[in-house]
Amino acid sequence: MIEGDFVEMNRTSVSNIIQKGGTILKSARSKEFRTPEGRQKAAENLKQQGIDGLIAIGGDGTLAGAAVFYDEHQIPLVGCPGTIDNDLFGTDETIGFDTALNTAIENIDKIRDTADAHDRLFLVEVMGRDAGFIALNSGIGGGAEMVLVPETLSDIKKVKSYIHSLMSEQHRSSIVVVAEGDELGGATRISEELRADEAFAEIDLRVCILGHTQRGGSPTARDRVLACRLGVSAVEALLDGHANVMVGLIDNRIRLTPSRNVYSRKKSINFELLGLTTLLS
């Protein structure tokens, strides 16, 4: 938009890409777009091209930026929730979440395969700076003994005593899933806490940071269908004259949410699931 580099696309432009991870648009964050001048330039380029509608796909930052752009230039704009973190108000699921979740669980499965020795503790860090959706769901789906998420205050003393009792009673390997954004710090930080405590002297402690692998990979069935539904709905919303809204899926139905709500409000984690992690461990 800023460089005035536009390409017209039709249905063949997207043939044979549905199974691919990453982006074919090669769009990335732009410093210039953060300045009024940059956005001004983008708006002029759009008008010059006769483009009278925009669809912005991304997370918090993208949609907040899009809203600012709309407020300044009133070019009709509809947001589409695309982030692996699933932390967007206005949709039960974001595009990318289910794929990241399955990648995390496949990795946890592989880690569990190696847990054949006694008294081994794996601290597995998954993505989620501000939200524990991946940690919570991959913890349940991966059969973890404990899950640490940013949404709940974790007391390191309680964490220690829980893990310790767990390992001393069942004497087999345990897996703890930690969201990178947990207020106790990530897996590395927590491992230092444990290593500093001689109660854990006998325990073979391993830190696994799944990292960027969660951002790629061929999309899952659910993410593909979700992306098709939301993509079509975003176009329809534009055609229906909507602007400055985000399309989302709420209780299996397409819903529109004012952009401002998306980044001003916080989506709550599912506390029924949170209860399961302690119940099932």
Residue positions annotated with a catalytic role: 85
Q: Are 194 and 161 in contact (CB under 8 A)?
A: no
Under the binding rule (CB under 8 A), the answer on residue 280 touching a second copy is yes
Beta carbon of residue 168, minimum distance to a second copy (angstroms, whole number): 15
178: Cα within 13 Å, side-chain hemisphere: 26
Q: Which of residues 52-111 bind a second copy (CB under 8 A)?
A: 92, 98, 101-105, 107, 109-111
Contact call for residue 267 and a second copy (CB under 8 A): no
What are the start-end ranges of the H helices in the chain? Answer: 36-48, 60-73, 97-113, 133-141, 156-170, 187-195, 221-239, 259-264, 271-280
* CB-nearer residue toward a second copy: 75 or 81: 81
Of 49, 114, 165, 264, the one binding a second copy by CB under 8 A = 114
Of 5, 8, 116, 198, the one binding a second copy by CB under 8 A: 116
Q: Does 218 bind a second copy (CB under 8 A)?
A: yes
- Cβ neighbour number for residue 120 with a 10 Å cutoff: 17
Relative orientation angle of helices 187-195 and 156-170, to the nearest 10 degrees: 70
CB of 132 to a second copy, least distance (A): 14
Rounded to whole angstroms, how far apart are CA atoms 276 and 71? 43
Q: Which residues make Cβ contacts (< 8 Å) with residue 159, sequence separation at least 6? A: 146, 148, 184, 190
Interface with a second copy includes 186 (CB under 8 A)? no
Cβ neighbours for 40, distance < 8 A, ≥ 6 positions apart: 72, 73
* Strand 245-250 versus strand 253-258 pairing type: antiparallel
| Closest approach of a second copy to the CB of residue 67, in Å | 23
Tell me: does residue 252 bind a second copy (CB under 8 A). Answer: yes
Return the residues of window 219-238 that contact a second copy according to CB under 8 A: 220-222, 224-225, 228-229, 232
Is 209 a binder of a second copy (CB under 8 A)? yes
Q: Minimum CB separation from a second copy for residue 271, in Å?
A: 12
Stretch that binds a second copy, among 47-55, 63-71, 147-155, 208-216 (CB under 8 A): 208-216
In this complex, which beta carbon is closest to a second copy, that of residue 91 or of residue 244? 91
DSSP-assigned letter for residue 176: E
Kindly report the number of other CB atoms within 10 A of residue 64's CB atom: 17
Q: How far is the CB of 173 from a second copy (least distance, A)?
A: 10
- Cα dist from 56 to 65, 81, 247, whole Å: 9, 8, 11
- Which residues contact a second copy (rule: CB under 8 A)? 12, 15-16, 18-23, 26-29, 92, 98, 101-105, 107, 109-118, 122, 137-138, 140-143, 170, 172, 206-218, 220-222, 224-225, 228-229, 232, 251-252, 254, 272-273, 276, 279-280
